[in-house]
Structures are given as C-alpha cells and as structure tokens.
Amino acid sequence: MGFGERRGAGMLADLLEKAGGCAVIDGGFATQLEKHGASINDPLWSALCLIKDPALIKLVHWEYLEAGADVLVTSSYQATIPGFLSRGLSIEEGETLLEKSVKLAVETRDKFWDNVKEIPENSYNRALVAASIGSYGAYLADGSEYSGSYGADIDLAKLKDFHRRRLQLLVKAGADLLAFETIPNKLEAQACAELLEEENVEIPSWICFSSVDGDNAPSGESFEECLDILNQRDRVSAVGINCAPPHFIESLICKIRKLTSKPIVVYPNSGEVWDGRAKKWLPSKCFGDDKFELFATRWRDVGAQLIGGCCRTTPSTIRAISQALRKVEKIDDL
Ligand SMILES: [Zn+2]
C-alpha cells in the first residue's frame, strides 16, 4: 500500500521523493494571522479572514513557503457552508469562499514557485496545496474535536452529509490533496474515508486524528480500531496526528507505524495550553523552535514522512524543521 496506487496519488509520491523521503508541512495559520493583527475571536476563526482580508491569507501562505513548507494547508479548517449561513451569508457566497480558500493558496504557490524555480541550488520544492477539512467538532466550535463526543443523534450518514459539499467544492477548486484534520473518533474517520469513495476523489488525502492522552483518539477509541477502518481504503493516502502536544508525537508515530503501512503525517501544536478561563495561552514548558528542530529528525527517523506544525507554531518553527530535515539529507548525499 502507498501513494502509487492511484493516478492522482503520484503527485504526493513525487513530492516525497524530491523532499528526500520526508516533506515539510506548514504551521499554525490563525496564530500567524493574529501576529499580523487579524482579530479572529469568532466561531469561524481563521475562515473569517476569507471574507475580511484575503491578502493577509496570501501573505501567511507566502511566509510558510519562504520558511520551506512543501505543503500549504488552506484556510478552510473552520470554513463550512452551515457556518457561513449562520453568519448571514448565502449558500452561493459560502461556496465561493470555500473555493477561494484553495485559489488563494494555489495563486500564492504558483507565484512563489515562479520566483524561486530559476534560482540555482535553491532548496525549495514546488509545494502542494492541501485543502483543510476540519472535523465536525471544529465546526461546532465547542471543543468536541478534542473529546470526540458528538452526541447520540450524530451518525455516519449525518457526518458524511456535513462533509460532502465542502469536499466537492475544495476538490473542484483545484486542491492537490485533501487534509482531514483533528478527527476525534472512529465514526468520523469512517465517514471521511467512505466519502472519498462515494465522491470518487482522485487526489490524494490524509486523515489526521488529534490525541489528548498521547495514546488514543480523543474519544478514547484506540488507534488500532481507528486505523483498521482506514487501512482497507486506498483513497486514504496517509494517516497521522495533528494538534496534539509535541511530546506525544514520537511514541504515537511508533505506535501507528505498527498499525498501518500507509505513510505517517504529524503536525503537532506547540505544546502551549489554552487557558479557557484567562483566555490566553500558557507557555510551553519544554518546547521551543529549537526543540522542534531536534525532534523533527527523530520523528522522521522513527517513520514520519510528512512533518509540520499546528496551532501556535510559526514560520520560524517550520524553518527550523525544514533546515533540520534538509541538513541531514545533504550529509546523506555526500
Ligand atoms: Zn491546531
């Protein structure tokens, strides 16, 4: 099993090869928008910028490309048709914004690649655009992407219905791959995997789970159960973990490595903890960009093939990861 089985999947295999076996994903999106002064205290979160400040979205994509990202993740994590409807937008407007999230990333990638491709010995690869598909919990914006508790009236069909239209639009808009993110339970993983088949999606995809205990999916279901469902689905190109603290990652890679032959994706958060009462981030006890640099090579060595950052990581985190991974490649090449 691997990337080579489907026609569209060759693109991801090519990127991994060009990147020396391990590609770099970008980092936290909302974090960087906020650094530039965007106010995203809203249920739509970074999707709000699609309406208010698309130029800023392009700037953040550009910063991650400069930092060495091989994969750009679009600003659609919390962009959903029901979410836009609840803000008073029409279906058509919501659909246009979803397509726009892909187009902004594609345009930025193309412009960046035009700028660097002729520079001799530049270390960049032509990046792929991964359309972000946040979990149902991310749309609810009630923290359930970290508990996996969707309630008794949510079933497989409802989760597929929730994801279907957005997935269709993101594929049609020209994404290179689909990134299902912070999936908290087995049921939603199954819904996403079945939807890829029902919709006959030809581009590659990854499905990433969050983890709050470092051992299981947030729902408490084991990764063995979760991955059993995905292993049989060859439209799921890669699997992994996002938005878990970095100190969980090495052991989770080792665990997942035994449970699947699919490539493994990891993009942890910075390890900072959100203090809901004080409404601020508590500093990470042990993780700065220097640690990411150190750990990225360990994560690669134990089996991860796509490595990046999630919440609270920045272009400097991604630069550290990219330089660490590429440095070792160069030594191997000698
Ligand atoms: Zn995150």
Per-residue pLDDT tens digits for 136-186: 998 888 888 888 999 999 999 999 999 999 999 999 999 999 999 999 999
Question: How many A from CA of 156 to the centre of ligand 1?
Answer: 24
Mean pLDDT of the region 103-129: 95
- Burial label, 198 (beta-carbon count in 10 A; 0-12, 13-18, 19+): exposed
86-90, 234-238, 260-264: which range is least confident on average?
86-90
Give CA separation, 318 vs 62, 94, 128, in Å.
13, 31, 16
- Check whether 331 has a pLDDT greater than 70: no
Q: How far apart are CA 218 and CA 148, in angstroms?
A: 5
Q: How far apart are CA 170 and CA 280, in angstroms?
A: 32
Q: How far apart are CA 70 and CA 62, in angstroms?
A: 12
Q: What are phi and psi of 102, to 5 degrees?
A: -75, -45
> Which run of H or of E encompasses 306?
strand 304-307
- Burial label, 41 (beta-carbon count in 10 A; 0-12, 13-18, 19+): exposed
For residue range 226-241, what is the model confidence (pLDDT) as tens digits? 999 999 999 999 999 9
Question: How many A from CA of 179 to the centre of ligand 1?
Answer: 13
Question: How many A from CA of 330 to the centre of ligand 1?
Answer: 31
Angle at 164 (CA atoms; ends 241, 236), nearest 5 degrees: 40
Query: Which of 309, 229, 233 minimizes the C-alpha distance to 272?
Result: 309
pLDDT score recorded for residue 332: 52
Q: Band the pLDDT of 325: cuts 50, 70, 90.
A: very high
Overall fold of domain 3-333: TIM Barrel (3.20.20)
Question: How many A from CA of 117 to the centre of ligand 1?
Answer: 31
Question: How many A from CA of 41 to the centre of ligand 1?
Answer: 15
- Check whether 319 has a pLDDT greater than 70: yes
In one-letter notation, the amino acid at residue 95 is E
| pTM of the predicted protein model | 0.93
pLDDT score recorded for residue 333: 52
Question: How many A from CA of 78 to the centre of ligand 1?
Answer: 12
Choose between 104 and 122: higher pLDDT.
Answer: 104
273 DSSP β-pair partners: 282
CA atoms within 13 A on the CB side of 9: 17
Question: How many A from CA of 16 to the centre of ligand 1?
Answer: 23
pLDDT score recorded for residue 20: 92
Q: Band the pLDDT of 1: cuts 50, 70, 90.
A: very low
pLDDT score recorded for residue 2: 45
Question: How many A from CA of 224 to the centre of ligand 1?
Answer: 23
For residue range 30-67, what is the model confidence (pLDDT) as tens digits? 889 989 988 767 767 777 789 889 999 999 999 999 99
Task: Please report, rounded to a whole number, the percentage of residues in the chain having pLDDT higher than 70.
Answer: 93
Provide the annotated binding site for Zn(2+). 243, 310-311
Helix (H, G, I), strand (E, B) or coil at 102: helix
- Do the beta carbons of residue 4 and residue 234 sit within 8 Å? no
Mean pLDDT, rounded, of the chain: 91
Q: Where are the domains of the chain?
A: 3-333
Question: How many A from CA of 51 to the centre of ligand 1?
Answer: 21
In one-letter notation, the amino acid at residue 284 is S
Provide the annotated binding site. 243, 310-311
Q: How far apart are CA 73 and CA 58, in angstroms?
A: 12
Mean pLDDT of the region 283-290: 72
Mean pLDDT of the region 292-301: 94
